[in-house]
Amino acid sequence: MRVLLIGANGYLGRHVADRLLADPAVQLTALGRGDDADVRFDLSTGSPGALTRFLDAVHPGVVVNCAGATRGGARDLIRHNTVATATVCESLRRSGCGARLVHLGCAAEYGPSPAGSSTGEDAVPRPGSPYGVSKLAASELVLGSGLDAIVLRVFSPVGPGTPTGSPLGRLAEAMRRVMQQGDGELRLAGLAVQRDFVDVRDVARAVHAAALSAAQGVVNIGSGRAVRLREVVSVLGRVAGHTGAVHEMDDQHQAGGGPQVPPYPDGCGPWQQADVRSARDRLGWRPRIGLEESLADIWMEAACRI
């Protein structure tokens, strides 16, 4: 099976590439903006015609789209998430390869949900951030393209390679810093937020399963359990050996008088939990890696950082 992976150098893409390369039946080609891609191509500026010619030459059976941006202004997010996906869809429509498209969406497309609820694929999306809007627009382009396509709405990915600028990356860095400086007290804000964490390697397994399946439409990829950020701090402290106090900042300013930074500026409010029954029933997929293992991997990388 020939697979074209777009965005192989990103956080999710690297793990998807590893998973696909482990399958001896897969012949993988990576397309991206970096020098280490098999083919250099910028989806946000490249033409559908140029990508179509490449698709006709390589003739993949599956195209996996992991490309995109999580940060930046609205214009950049639209360019890298929505316009880029439009280029992929139009190129596949023009191409004679007939490839299946596996597109990675995100839980920010849903927006806020009631506390205690599990968000199913039939929920009406109401994104509360520019990022969520740009990703929802991309997913809608895929769903309305007429292609053989599936959208995996990934909830909060965690595990090795977690970006240092992400919420859990910042948390691990803060813990490393206080332990290195001998200051036992960790001061954090927004610990009441609850998110559905799923290991990035389990996400890669879901992509692999989706590539081999005939399922179409939207499928949630998560653990099916919301975890309070306060619990995440506790588990991370245990694996890190942090024995100091954790002081939760309840006012509108963090220590030092700076403005409070929301731990999850995704526009999804204080609660998010996935209904993952479709992933089980349609893909035969279940998460395998527990949160403690994921956090231990994050801490290992943070602790080795100079």
- pLDDT tens track for 141-179: 999 999 999 999 999 999 999 999 899 999 999 999 999
Spatial neighbors of 90 by CB under 8 A, at least 6 apart, are 48
Mean pLDDT of 57-74: 96
Residue with tokens 């527990």, as numbered in its chain: 290
Cα-Cα-Cα-Cα torsion 54, 48, 14, 144, nearest 10 degrees, comes to -120
Count of alpha carbons within 13 angstroms of residue 24, beta-carbon side: 0
| Mean pLDDT across 276-304 | 97
Q: Please check the confidence at residue 6 and state whether its pLDDT lies above 60.
A: yes
- Residue 168: its pLDDT value, please? 94
pLDDT band, very low/low/confident/very high, at 263 (cuts 50, 70, 90)? low
CB within 8 Å of 181: residues ≥ 6 apart: none
H helix runs in 146-199, sequence order: 167-181
Q: H or E segment at 239?
A: helix 229-240
Q: Cβ contacts of residue 115 below 8 Å, gap of 6+?
A: 194, 270, 271
* Residue 258 pLDDT > 50: no
Torsion 137-118-291-240 (CA) sign:
positive
Q: Name the pTM for this structure.
A: 0.94
Q: In this predicted structure, what is the pLDDT of residue 32? A: 85
pLDDT for 272 beyond 80: yes
pLDDT of residue 254: 46
pLDDT digits (tens, 9 = 90+) for 78-132: 999 999 999 999 999 999 999 999 999 999 999 999 999 999 999 999 999 999 9
Angle at 172 between CA 166 and CA 176, to 5 degrees: 140
- Give the pLDDT confidence score for residue 255 in this predicted structure: 43
